[in-house]
Chains A and B, each alone.
Chain A
Amino acid sequence: MARDLLIIGGRIIDADQNIDAAGDLLISDGKFSQIGSPGTLPSKNADVIDAAGCIVCQGFIDLHCHLRDPGFEEKETIATGTKAAAAGGFTTVCCMPNTNPPIDSRASVEYVIRTAAQSGTIRVLPIGCITKGRKGAELSEMYDLADAGVIGFSDDGSTVANPQLLQKAMEYSRTLGLPIIEHCEDPMLAKDGYMHEGWVSTRLGLKGVPTAAEEVIIARDIALAQLTKAKLHIAHVSTAGSVEMIRRAKEAGISITAEVTPHHLTLTHERVMRTGRGNRSELLYDTNAKVNPPLRTEEDIAALIAGLKAGVIDCIATDHAPHHEIDKLCEFGLAAFGISGFETALGSLMTLVHNGHLDMKALIAALTAVPSRILGKNYGIPAGIKIGSTADIVIFDPDKEWTVRSSDFASKGKNTPLEGQALKGKVKATIYYGAVVYSEG
Chain B
Amino acid sequence: MADLSLSTGLPETSPDVWKHEHVLDVDDFSRDEIDLVHEVADAMGEILTREVKKVPTLRGKTVVTMFYEASTRTRASFELAAKNLSADTVNLDASKSSVTKGESFIDSLRTIQALGADVIIIRHSHSGAPYLASRSVHAHIVNAGDGWHAHPSQSLLDTYTIRKHLGTLEDKKIAIVGDILHSRVAHSNLWGMSKLGAQIVLCGPQTLLPLDTEGFISRSGLSGVTVEPVIEKALKDADIVMALRLQLERQQAGLLPTIREYVQRYAITAERLRLAKPNALLLHPGPVNEGIELSPEVAYGAQSVIQEQVTNGVAIRMALLYLVCGRKHN
Contacts and interface: CB of A to CB of B under 8 A. Distances in A.
B105 A331 contact: yes
A90 interface: no
Contact of B146 (A205, A210, A281, A282): A205
A235 B148 CA distance: 31
A134 to B, nearest CB: 25
Contacts of B127: 204-206, 285, 332-333
Contacts of B24: 282-283
A199 B215 contact: yes
B128 A202 contact: no
B287 interface: no
B148 to A, nearest CB: 4
A332 B215 contact: no
Interface in A328-368: 329-334
Given A332-B126, A333-B126, A333-B147, A281 B28 contact: yes
B115 interface: no
B284 interface: no
A330 B147 contact: no
Contact of A205 (B187, B213, B220): B187
Residue among B104, B124, B213 having the largest count of chain A Cβ atoms under 10 Å: B104
Nearest to B209: A202
Contacts of B134: 282
Describe A's contact surface by its main secondary structure.
Answer: loop
B184 interface: yes
Contact of A202 (B106, B147, B210): B210
Contacts of B50: none
A204 B149 contact: yes
Interface residues of B, number: 31
Contacts of A199: 210, 212, 215-216, 219-220
A330 B135 CA distance: 11
A331 B187 contact: no
A203 B216 contact: yes
A198 B126 CA distance: 18
Contacts of B283: none
Contacts of A334: 126
B227 to A, nearest CB: 12
A284 interface: yes
A388 to B, nearest CB: 56
B131 A284 contact: yes
A331 B220 contact: no
Contacts of B219: 199-200, 203
Residue among B27, B184, B210, B215 having the largest count of chain A Cβ atoms under 10 Å: B210
Contacts of B126: 331-334
Contacts of B220: 199, 202-203
A208 B131 CA distance: 19
B277 to A, nearest CB: 30
B216 A282 contact: no
Given A205-B146, A205-B147, A198 B128 contact: no
A197 interface: yes
Interface in A187-234: 197-200, 202-208, 210
Nearest to A326: B104
A330 B149 CA distance: 17
B215 A331 contact: no
A206 B106 contact: no
B52 interface: no
A198 B147 contact: no
Interface string B122-140: 0010111101101000000
Nearest to A333: B126
B42 to A, nearest CB: 27
Nearest to B183: A205
A203 B128 CA distance: 11
Nearest to B28: A281
Given A205-B127, A205-B187, A197 B147 contact: no
Contacts of A202: 181, 210-213, 216, 220
Given A199-B215, A284-B131, A333-B126, A205 B148 contact: yes
A206 B128 contact: yes
Contacts of B104: 326, 330
Contacts of A332: 126-128, 132
Interface in A236-278: none
B314 interface: no
Contact of B132 (A197, A281, A331): A331
A285 B215 contact: no
B41 to A, nearest CB: 24
Given A281-B28, A326-B104, A331-B124, A208 B211 contact: yes
A165 B226 CA distance: 47
A214 to B, nearest CB: 15
Given A205-B184, A282-B28, A285-B132, A197 B150 contact: no
A334 B147 CA distance: 13
Interface in A267-308: 281-285
- List the 7 closest A-B pairs by CB distance, nearest first: A205-B149, A285-B128, A205-B148, A331-B126, A205-B127, A202-B210, A199-B216
Given A199-B219, A281-B27, 17 more contacts: A199-B215, A202-B210, A202-B213, A202-B220, A203-B220, A205-B147, A206-B149, A210-B211, A281-B28, A282-B24, A282-B28, A282-B134, A330-B105, A331-B128, A332-B127, A332-B132, A333-B128
Interface of B: 24-25, 27-28, 104-106, 124, 126-129, 131-132, 134, 146-150, 181, 184, 187, 210-213, 215-216, 219-220
28 contacts: A198-B211, A199-B212, A199-B215, A199-B216, A199-B219, A199-B220, A202-B181, A202-B210, A202-B213, A204-B127, A205-B128, A205-B150, A205-B187, A206-B128, A206-B148, A208-B211, A282-B28, A282-B131, A283-B25, A283-B128, A330-B104, A330-B106, A331-B124, A332-B127, A332-B128, A332-B132, A333-B126, A334-B126
